[in-house]
Amino acid sequence: MTGADAMVKCLEAQGIDVVFGYPGVAIAPFYNSLYDSKIQSILVRQEQNGGHAASGYARVTRKPAVCIATSGPGATNLITGIATAYADSIPMVAITGQVSTRLLGKDVFQEADITGACEPFVKYSYLVKNVEDIPRVFKEAFYIASTGRQGPVLIDVPIDIQKQEFEYEEPGEVSIRGYKPKVKGHIVQIKKVVEAIQKAKKPLICAGGGVVLGHAEPVIQEFCEKYSIPVVTTMMGVGSMPKRHPLFFGMLGTNGKPYANRAVAESDLLIIVGARVNDRSIGALSKLEQDRLIIHIDIDTAEIGKNIGPTIPLVGDARLIFESLMEYDIHVSFEDWVERLRNIKVNCVDYRTFHEGFINPCLFVEHLTERMDEDAIYVADVGQNQLWSADNYVMKKGRFLTTGGFGTMGYAIPAAIGAKMAAPHRQVVAVCGDGSFQMSMNELATMLQNHIKVKIIIMKNMYLGLVREYQYNNYDKNYIAVELGDIPNLKKIAEAYDMEYFHLRNMSKMDETIEAFLACDNSALFVCHVYKFDKVKE
């Protein structure tokens, strides 16, 4: 068989049933071999979106997903997709075509050193120079992408290697001497955690993206309920706890709930699980280390101590660690502490503002997500819409997907396409701003062509709202390069792509419009008019 045949065979062996990509000459042999495979090929309208679609697919299936691009510009277009997956720790295998091995380094047509360019954004990368390596490389790539702290792996395959005939040999078990991810927590450290909880008066769990990625939500919820320990989340951790859970106290950070930040500030033991402790969330709260014990649980050793010096570091998989913690019986009661937090929460001022003829975005997200199916998937883009979404999303049994790590505008639509492909029977709603919508509206064609019925909401305020808000706060209201205008005509766009169209300006019609939008069978575009000067923080 040829190298290209082997690539397809390897993907089949990994149980891959769909790839998101964009062809070109350097990847043509692979696509030709794909012709006879059962693997479905989805043609996206730009390579970056292929990366995001794979990200959405991977997050829902919890398995690595595949995106494809050709050499040169195809590959460089894909970089943002790869970098987004890297920052968000999403398992992904990106395959790129490359110019012929004998032309490598000669700056020929459509040549780019993509393994070099992607080095800071991949967990690992391969440039395949021997066709015999393909079976091993593919098996290793999927292994690396999906184990330890998950992330993207890039495989760059020159066209002559794809065309070359060879004798396919089944790869052996994966054995990489430099890669032995640690998943089980160290027993000594686990005992220290137990002791710390025993001594604590006001413990708090902060759940990050690692909780969702490691599917540790159920066991952490069980653990919290066992001891009445309150929980807050980071943006990537939204969805770790149901919104209405009595122990849940919202998202923390600069864009989070004030009572979540109060909970952190008043806690005497902070258990950070699967979070980078970045500047937008916990890092914003200074002097945290001085006044309380900090336990940092993460699968990536390098995250521990990077931004915050923990008292007790614990390396391992969140789910396995909390399963071990469940085996202990700690005699504690934190009812008073939880009661105090409930009081703070109840007394927090509602900062929502209302403008005649516009929809309050916070209330909208709440009403929308309450009415969505139990297991619906909500994909938030980037900008004000993301912050309104993360802060007000009502988690039931569904999923909340967003790029909290990289913050890539235009993520929602392609990621929603991937999510819908992964779960065709679940409701998938993408929420964008009018800025981010226009960054990936070309993917409406992908949806239409492949009958992918994603529902899209545009929070339209005719501005790049979050940048405008930043200019308002920091640049003396000098609004520059943020005005989008009342274009394009979104109704005509919906019509052009055969989507149902909804729009909403009147709060009194909000619930019925949301219900009609969710009930319609087709894919739909819902324009929600938001007051142009509405801010995330008043």
By C-beta, is 133 or 443 nearer to other proteins?
Answer: 133
Q: How many CA atoms lie within 13 A of 176 on its CB side?
A: 15
**Minimum distance from CB of 48 to other proteins (Å)?**
22
Binding mask 446-485 for other proteins (x = CB under 8 A): ----------------------------------------
Tell me: does residue 136 bind other proteins (CB under 8 A): no
> CB within 8 A of 475, min separation 6: which ones?
none
Alpha helix locations (H) across 409-456? 412-422, 434-440, 444-449
> CB within 8 A of 519, min separation 6: which ones?
none
Tell me: does residue 144 bind other proteins (CB under 8 A): yes
> CB within 8 A of 347, min separation 6: which ones?
none
Binding mask 294-333 for other proteins (x = CB under 8 A): ------xxx-xxx--x------------------------
By C-beta, is 3 or 313 nearer to other proteins?
Answer: 313
Question: Could you please report the per-residue DSSP string of 81-120?
Answer: HHHHHHHTT--EEEEEEE--GGGTTS--TT---HHHHHGG
Positive or negative, the CA dihedral 157, 160, 163, 166 is negative
By C-beta, is 102 or 177 nearer to other proteins?
Answer: 177
**Minimum distance from CB of 147 to other proteins (Å)?**
11
**Minimum distance from CB of 124 to other proteins (Å)?**
5
Question: Of 84, 115, 360, 523, which one interacts with other proteins (CB under 8 A)?
Answer: 115
**Minimum distance from CB of 110 to other proteins (Å)?**
21
By C-beta, is 139 or 455 nearer to other proteins?
Answer: 139
Size of the site for other proteins (CB under 8 A): 19
**Minimum distance from CB of 151 to other proteins (Å)?**
10
Q: What's the one-letter identity of residue 414?
A: P
By C-beta, is 181 or 258 nearer to other proteins?
Answer: 181
Q: How far apart are CA 513 and CA 413, in angstroms?
A: 21
Which is nearest to 126 in space by CA: 109, 107, 145?
A: 145
Q: Residue 209 in contact with residue 341, Cβ under 8 Å?
A: no
**Minimum distance from CB of 104 to other proteins (Å)?**
11
Question: Could you please report the per-residue DSSP string of 356-415?
Answer: TTS--HHHHHHHHHHHS-TT-EEEE-SSHHHHHHHHH---SSSEEE--TTT--TT-HHHH
By C-beta, is 15 or 309 nearer to other proteins?
Answer: 309
Q: Residue 407 in contact with residue 436, Cβ under 8 Å?
A: no
By C-beta, is 303 or 534 nearer to other proteins?
Answer: 303
By C-beta, is 120 or 485 nearer to other proteins?
Answer: 120
Question: Of 51, 65, 87, 123, which one interacts with other proteins (CB under 8 A)?
Answer: 123
Question: Of 15, 105, 116, 424, which one interacts with other proteins (CB under 8 A)?
Answer: 116
Q: How far apart are CA 192 and CA 18, in angstroms?
A: 45
By C-beta, is 117 or 284 nearer to other proteins?
Answer: 117
Q: Which stretch binds other proteins (CB under 8 A): 27-35, 111-119, 378-386, 453-461?
A: 111-119
**Minimum distance from CB of 178 to other proteins (Å)?**
4
**Minimum distance from CB of 123 to other proteins (Å)?**
7
Strand partners, 504: 528
Strand partners, 483: 463
By C-beta, is 123 or 136 nearer to other proteins?
Answer: 123
**Minimum distance from CB of 237 to other proteins (Å)?**
22
Which is nearest to 204 in space by CA: 298, 88, 279, 288?
A: 288
By C-beta, is 120 or 172 nearer to other proteins?
Answer: 120
Q: How many CA atoms lie within 13 A of 175 on its CB side?
A: 3
Q: Residue 345 in contact with residue 260, Cβ under 8 Å?
A: no
> CB within 8 A of 501, min separation 6: which ones?
490, 491, 494, 495, 524, 525, 526, 527
Interactions with other proteins, residue window 161-220 (CB under 8 A): 176-179
Tell me: does residue 89 bind other proteins (CB under 8 A): no
Q: Residue 419 in contact with residue 488, Cβ under 8 Å?
A: no
> CB within 8 A of 81, min separation 6: which ones?
47, 48, 49, 50, 51, 52, 54, 55, 67, 94
Question: Of 15, 73, 119, 353, which one interacts with other proteins (CB under 8 A)?
Answer: 119
Q: Which stretch binds other proteins (CB under 8 A): 116-124, 243-251, 364-372, 515-523?
A: 116-124
Question: Of 22, 31, 124, 400, which one interacts with other proteins (CB under 8 A)?
Answer: 124
* Binding footprint of other proteins on the chain (CB under 8 A): 115-116, 119-120, 123-124, 127, 144, 176-179, 300-302, 304-306, 309
